[in-house]
Structure 1
Amino acid sequence: MIALKDILYKVTINAVVGSTNVMATAIDFDSRNIKNGYVFVAVKGTVSDGHKFIEGAVKQGAVAVVCETMPENLVEGITYVEVDNSSKALAIMASNFYENPSANLKLVGVTGTNGKTTVASLLYQLFKKAGYKVGLLSTVKIMVDTIEYKATHTTPDSLTINKYLKLMNTEGVEFCFMEVSSHGIHQYRTEGLRFEGGIFTNLTHDHLDYHSTFAEYRDVKKSFFDALPEKAFALVNVDDKNGLVMLQNTKSRKYTYALKGYADYKSQILENQFGGLLLKINDAEVWTRLIGNFNAYNILAIYATAELLGLEKVEILRLISELESVSGRFQYVVSENKITAIVDYAHTPDALKNVLETINSIRTKNEELITVVGCGGDRDKTKRPKMGHIATALSTKVIFTSDNPRSEEPETILKDIESGVEPQNYKKTVTISDRLQAIKTACQMAQPNDIILVAGKGHETYQEIKGERFDFDDFKIVSEFLKQLNK
């Protein structure tokens, strides 16, 4: 148990009714989880307002309530704390409740539109290979050294983050690499955490269903770097025009990386093939099994971060050569009759363009490039025509299909995608709403040496339709269909 006044340390408070000496057993922002001795934090979410559930939380045993607006009916014996922002307060309280676990390890946040999962996951892999105890908070999974936990969000809620960081402390974890999404920053989920460093990968068209403008999306990312402490490092990709924007107001140590422009960490692609990349990083050459220009950036970010965290240059290069690709990120299988199928999470226009350009830079052009792609429902609709345009401009054949339609009708989403196809590319396209049938059709269309790209879902092992999740793994499905064709 911990005193409420200790949980509230560093929280900006407007008013208190009752005693802050009351002892609490836990904190929660979901009223359904409240039990005797809990502190209930009423958060105004995107779907529902926690203030509506204060009365219920008190009946279930809450000893204290933290809220932005005091309820009209105050229950005697219950402590009420009014704050400006409940989400921000929750994050600071979570950190205090779990004894500020981020201060006991070296926490590095990775933010940007594309590459967050790859960079965080590969850093985890590299530091594990170097012999350290390491943590990972990513879209794909949460790792507490060697123990894996299921991930549900790119950036989990602040209670979940601190719970796992505390677990990492218990297990003796020294480094933790964490994806930091714009949603997570905007909703104050990283508030109260102490970061050793921050990495900026790039900024492209995404999440405009949540952020009203691109400038707002950029500035939310920037606020993460603004908040970094002086002793931390900020490492940014300056080939992206927003890279230097991220450094404008940061107090931290500033470092840059680039393939094209001048930077502290420079890389050059010497060879690019389906077997991997040969890179020159500053003055040293390194071979990696990862493929494509976008992975050259990811590898460079990893190299720079590892050096900034104190690893030796020669050791870093050796470890980079041993790294394996991340699940659902340019993950490929080659069938017996030489059909290559690639599964990638590319679900933004820029990510799709990068993957297709990478494939086109490697292939001989004597083979077909068949792309299977869709767009998620209840998300940024403005990117759908762009996805259709890019897919058809850079592929020889395209099958438009369902992604995670969520509450939308797949046919509506598909029409939005098709609207971006230029007239000369109509003949390249087929539309098959059923994703399973679309992948099967791509496999049946493919001839020896052809390449199939299944884009959009990557590591996801489900398809979300009308509020339900159904088992669906692109990589397993395309691998199975290719096996069947060989029989």
Structure 2
Amino acid sequence: MVASARDDDITLADLLAGIDTIEDFGGGVASALGIRVQGLQLDSRKIAMGDLFLAVPGYGSGACDGRDYIEAAFGAGACAVVAERAGLSHFPIAQAPGPVIGIDNLGAEISRIAGRFYAEPSHSLKVVGCTGSNGKTTCSHLLAQLYRGLQTNAGVIGTLGYGLSGDSLKPVGLTTPDAVSCQQILSELRQRGAGLVAMEVSSHGLAQYRVEGISFHGAVFTNLSRDHLDYHGSMAEYSAAKQKLFARDELQFAVLNAEDDAAAAMASSLAPGVDCYFYTTQAAVPQSVTAADGVVVRAKQIELSPRGIRALVDSPWGQAELHSSLIGRFNLSNLLAVITSACADGLAFDEVVAAVGALRPVEGRMQLVSAGSEPAVLVDYAHTPDALEKALLSLRQIEKNGSGGRVFCVFGCGGERDAGKRTQMAAIAERYADIVVVTNDNPRGEDPARIIDDIVRDMRCRPVIIEDRAEAIRYAVNHAEESDVIMLAGKGHEQYQLVGDQRLPFSDVAQARLALARRRERQ
């Protein structure tokens, strides 16, 4: 992500306003504060003439430290360097040809610095942050789709990229981009006429202060289940990271999944005066929610089928019947989150529920890639135990209400990530699927065979083991009957397979379509 330059002048003093701990490490702070800054960069390789280089240590073992590249930044034309002060004297900056300024906890300040540079774009946008282990992408895209359908330009930022809803998205690399890119993207969306931006806010993004300087109008919590423990270390720390989104004074409303035990913790983080709403697909609301200061939006008379969802939505704004082509109870939960968010923002309840009928599935999220008299093949990003369970339960609902066929599950687990979830996902697959095919899913630097051994070691059923993912997909398609349902879990929208240090082209959707085409040729 390249940080574009401003059309008007802004000085280093403007950007550092309000920061108390500024130390001169060469070049003179007083003279440096008057320098006009043309752009912001976190990567010395992307520096253009007149840019400010923000030099911070990376996160995790083996991460780069931006302070190692101060000399390179000046060589590329940086006007000045602002760096993390702790330990800065140990870096070779004595001969730096320009001003070097040290700031305590710079990582937490970058979002605010970038906000000033881009003229505080979030102050003139309604930014709704969506966080949770699963459902962030679906909720953010559906919310943006909904606003577009109701004649409001809406932007989206997240796993699939960023842009205006309905347009092709530009890639971002991270679910929540770095702090400078977040502000640059919001500035671009503001310039393109967005009124609302639905933004995925990951636990990494919160823990690393990437959204610290963004003003959030609303916040949505979908759920909390085992994920990213290789980074956070414990579920308590994982939850604490999520809670940071709800502890913000500027929030106007919060929308929380009443079915998740962590909802009460999110609610307890809210500042006084924030409107709190809970949503649920269950008849009984947990006591922790009924005791909280919030209102409940509930789905009743639920009908789930291969054709989609029907339900009666009961809310403080009235009742209305919901119709959607999306599949599964968990997507009903996502739709309730979207409806509640829109109504909390002031949109008319009846119009919102009616508009839900036009919402389309999100790429790689329960995406149907087969048609007609073929096995139903669905591609989903489910890569956590909770997500896999919900996806397979949805397929069981389809089987129960219509097809009468078997459920196939093709899945693997990522390498160099939380290994503890491998046996959990295996147990879920064998509980809900009739035929389990274990395969690769981004093994990275781990031995794929060892990952598969971890997955299958406690399984009671006999899974089909096919290391090559394309071959595994072909196996499922070739062995399925017309009435069967195949879940390709884990990769969703991804267009690659990470093997060693290589990023190899690979798409579950493309491979499934190819396998289905070859199946048709043989018939």
Q: What is the match of residue 238 of structure 1?
A: 258
Displacement after TM superposition at 1:61 (Å): 2.5
Is residue 344 of structure 2 the alignment partner of residue 312 of structure 1? no
Q: Deviations over 1:342-395 (max 9, x none)?
A: 111100000000011111122138422111000111211111111111111111
Letter in 1 for 2:50: G
2:141 to 104, 121, 133: 121
Query: Counterpart of 1:148 in 2: which secondary structure?
Result: coil
Q: What is the match of residue 55 of structure 1?
A: 71
1:402 to 427, 440, 461: 440
Change (3 A) 1:40 1:359: same
Is residue 130 of structure 2 the alignment partner of residue 110 of structure 1? yes
Q: Deviations over 1:111-146 (max 9, x none)?
A: 000000000000111111111111100201211353
Q: Alignment RMSD, CA only? A: 1.7
Letter in 2 for 1:285: E
Q: What is the match of residue 465 of structure 1?
A: 499
Question: Using the alignment, how far apart are the partners of 2:192 and 2:346 within structure 1?
Answer: 22
Q: Is the CA contact (8 Å cut-off) linking 1:398 and 1:430 kept in structure 2? A: yes
| Farther off after superposition, 256-265 or 242-251 | 256-265
Q: What is the match of residue 278 of structure 2?
A: 256
Q: How many residues align?
A: 482
Query: Counterpart of 1:189 in 2: which secondary structure?
Result: coil
Q: Is the CA contact (8 Å cut-off) linking 2:41 and 2:52 kept in structure 1? A: yes
Is residue 225 of structure 2 the alignment partner of residue 204 of structure 1? yes
Query: Counterpart of 2:155 in 1: which secondary structure?
Result: strand
Q: Deviations over 1:192-221 (max 9, x none)?
A: 101101000000000001101110000010
Displacement after TM superposition at 1:472 (Å): 1.4
Within-5 A mapping of 1:467-486: 467-486=501-520
Q: What is the match of residue 267 of structure 1?
A: 299
Query: Counterpart of 1:457 in 2: which secondary structure?
Result: coil
Within-5 A mapping of 1:431-470: 431-470=465-504
Runs of 4+ in 1 over 3 A off after TM superposition: 70-77, 144-147, 333-338
Letter in 2 for 1:323: L
Question: Using the alignment, how far apart are the partners of 2:518 and 2:168 within structure 1?
Answer: 35
Tell me, which stretches of 5 or more residues in structure 1 are unaligned? none
Question: Using the alignment, how far apart are the partners of 1:144 and 1:92 within structure 2?
Answer: 24
Query: Counterpart of 1:367 in 2: which secondary structure?
Result: coil
Q: Is the CA contact (8 Å cut-off) linking 2:131 and 2:242 kept in structure 1? A: yes
Within-5 A mapping of 1:363-382: 363-364=399-400, 366-382=404-420
| Farther off after superposition, 256-265 or 319-328 | 256-265
Q: Is the CA contact (8 Å cut-off) linking 1:12 and 1:89 kept in structure 2? A: no
Letter in 2 for 1:127: Y
Q: What is the match of residue 193 of structure 1?
A: 214
Letter in 1 for 2:307: G
Change (3 A) 1:254 1:12: farther
1:9 to 17, 33, 41: 17
| Farther off after superposition, 128-137 or 73-82 | 73-82
Q: What is the match of residue 170 of structure 1?
A: 191
Percent pairwise identity: 35
Change (3 A) 1:269 1:41: farther
| Normalised TM-score (structure 1) | 0.95
Q: Deviations over 1:93-127 (max 9, x none)?
A: 11111111111110000000000000000011111
Q: What is the match of residue 353 of structure 1?
A: 389
Q: Is the CA contact (8 Å cut-off) linking 1:11 and 1:93 kept in structure 2? A: no
Change (3 A) 1:14 1:7: closer
Letter in 1 for 2:211: T
Q: Is the CA contact (8 Å cut-off) linking 2:399 and 2:406 kept in structure 1? A: no
Question: Using the alignment, how far apart are the partners of 1:101 and 1:481 within structure 2?
Answer: 46
Query: Counterpart of 1:24 in 2: which secondary structure?
Result: coil
Letter in 1 for 2:391: V
Query: Counterpart of 1:264 in 2: which secondary structure?
Result: strand
Within-5 A mapping of 1:65-84: 65-69=81-85, 70-71=88-89, 73-75=93-95, 78-84=98-104
Question: Using the alignment, how far apart are the partners of 1:43 and 1:437 within structure 2?
Answer: 44
1:220 to 215, 229, 241: 241
Tell me, which stretches of 5 or more residues in structure 2 are unaligned? 1-8
Displacement after TM superposition at 1:178 (Å): 0.2
Query: Counterpart of 2:146 in 1: which secondary structure?
Result: helix
| Normalised TM-score (structure 2) | 0.89
Query: Counterpart of 2:229 in 1: which secondary structure?
Result: coil
| Farther off after superposition, 336-345 or 172-181 | 336-345
Letter in 2 for 1:171: R
Q: Is the CA contact (8 Å cut-off) linking 1:27 and 1:39 kept in structure 2? A: yes
| Farther off after superposition, 54-63 or 202-211 | 54-63
Question: Using the alignment, how far apart are the partners of 2:185 and 2:393 within structure 1?
Answer: 38
Letter in 2 for 1:377: G
Q: Deviations over 1:21-69 (max 9, x none)?
A: 1111111111112233221111111211112222222233222211223
1:151 to 172, 186, 191: 172
Question: Using the alignment, how far apart are the partners of 1:419 and 1:181 within structure 2?
Answer: 31
